[in-house]
């Protein structure tokens, strides 16, 4: 049996095992996907033991997406530019790193009937680690990107790196965005935070949140009430997993059962 898993700390609440195990089962692949909850002081041992343990591939999540790079033999151009890896494939003992977050985000945006981002005005809220893959993907598609953040200096630094515009959250209304992607962790500390004024959300906007807990975040709620097209956070999770599955197995992931188990798990998640 092939072994896969998510490397994270904590990993216990990850929805990835459910999605990938359903996918393996659906295609009759003899593989199992575990949750590897590895503390920072265990990471060295875990990575050294990967081959002995016969691990064929890993998803990588917080807090390891950046620091895992030093353990890998090669990473692809996208991961290099983003500065983070969320997928590892073990090929005959050599570890290859990829990033599927940006593809997951773009595919999720396509669900809002958005197939061509060229020249589209896109606002990314937040300037933390999670926004890098999104900004990279949007820029790669030729979008005009603004990074707006509470701490404007952080937004400026990222904007310089990825050749974007930047500003404070309060600049939102002036930009007249066509696409808005929420990447902050604001809802964790302030469950009712209003990142942008509700009136600034217009019906022509596509608004996506990458947070899936809660599914209908305060921003998406406002956006829905304003008549925007909204895209909830589990879409990106599902669609980045689809890309991971393809990297590992060379096969198209069975999206329907994966989406179904994800919806089930999210419903029961507190």
Which residues are annotated as catalytic?
65
DSSP 180-235: EEE---HHHH-TT--SS-GGG--TT-EEEES--SSSS-HHHHHHHHTT-EEE-THH
Query: What does the block give as tokens for 181?
Result: 């992607």
Instruction: State whether residue 158 is helix, strand or coil.
Output: helix
If the CB atoms of residues 154 and 213 are measured against ligand ATR, the closer one turns out to be 154
Rounded to a whole number of angstroms, the minimum distance from the CB of residue 158 to ligand ATR is 9
If the CB atoms of residues 97 and 126 are measured against ligand ATR, the closer one turns out to be 126
In angstroms, the CA 78 to CA 183 distance is 19
Rounded to a whole number of angstroms, the minimum distance from the CB of residue 148 to ligand ATR is 9
If the CB atoms of residues 149 and 240 are measured against ligand ATR, the closer one turns out to be 149
Residue of 136, 103, 111 lying closest to 122 (CA atoms): 136
If the CB atoms of residues 40 and 151 are measured against ligand ATR, the closer one turns out to be 151
If the CB atoms of residues 57 and 167 are measured against ligand ATR, the closer one turns out to be 167
In angstroms, the CA 85 to CA 78 distance is 9
Rounded to a whole number of angstroms, the minimum distance from the CB of residue 86 to ligand ATR is 12
Rounded to a whole number of angstroms, the minimum distance from the CB of residue 156 to ligand ATR is 11
Rounded to a whole number of angstroms, the minimum distance from the CB of residue 195 to ligand ATR is 6
Binding footprint of ligand ATR on the chain (CB under 6 A)? 126-130, 149-151, 154, 184-186, 189-190, 193, 195
Q: Burial level of 105, CB count in 10 A (0-12/13-18/19+)? A: buried
- By residue count, the chain amounts to 270
| Long-range contacts from 152-156, C-beta under 8 angstroms, 24+ separation | 154/127, 154/128, 155/127
């Amino acid at each position: 049996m092939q072994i896969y898993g998510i490397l994270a700390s904590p990993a216990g609440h990850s929805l990835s095992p459910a999605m990938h195990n359903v996918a393996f089962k659906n295609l009759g692949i003899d593989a199992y996907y575990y949750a590897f909850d590895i503390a920072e002081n265990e990471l060295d041992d875990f990575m050294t033991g990967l081959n002995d343990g016969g691990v064929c591939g890993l998803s990588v999540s917080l807090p390891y997406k950046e620091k895992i790079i030093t353990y890998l033999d090669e990473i692809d151009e996208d991961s290099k530019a983003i500065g983070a890896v969320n997928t590892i494939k073990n090929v005959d003992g050599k570890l290859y790193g990829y990033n599927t977050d940006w593809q997951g985000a773009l595919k999720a945006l396509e669900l809002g009937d958005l197939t061509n981002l060229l020249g589209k005005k896109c606002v990314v809220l937040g300037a933390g680690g999670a926004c890098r893959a999104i900004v990279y993907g949007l820029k790669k598609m030729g979008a005009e990107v603004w990074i707006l953040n509470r701490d404007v200096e952080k937004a400026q630094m990222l904007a310089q790196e990825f050749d974007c515009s930047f500003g404070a959250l309060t600049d939102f209304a002036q930009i007249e965005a066509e696409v808005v992607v929420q990447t902050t962790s604001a809802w964790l500390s302030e469950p009712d935070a209003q990142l942008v004024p509700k009136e600034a959300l217009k019906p022509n906007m596509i608004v996506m949140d990458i947070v899936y807990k809660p599914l209908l975040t305060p921003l998406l709620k406002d956006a829905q009430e304003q008549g925007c097209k909204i895209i909830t956070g589990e879409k990106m999770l599902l669609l980045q997993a689809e890309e991971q599955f393809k990297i590992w197995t060379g096969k198209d992931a069975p999206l329907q059962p994966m989406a179904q188990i994800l919806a089930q798990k999210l419903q029961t998640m507190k």
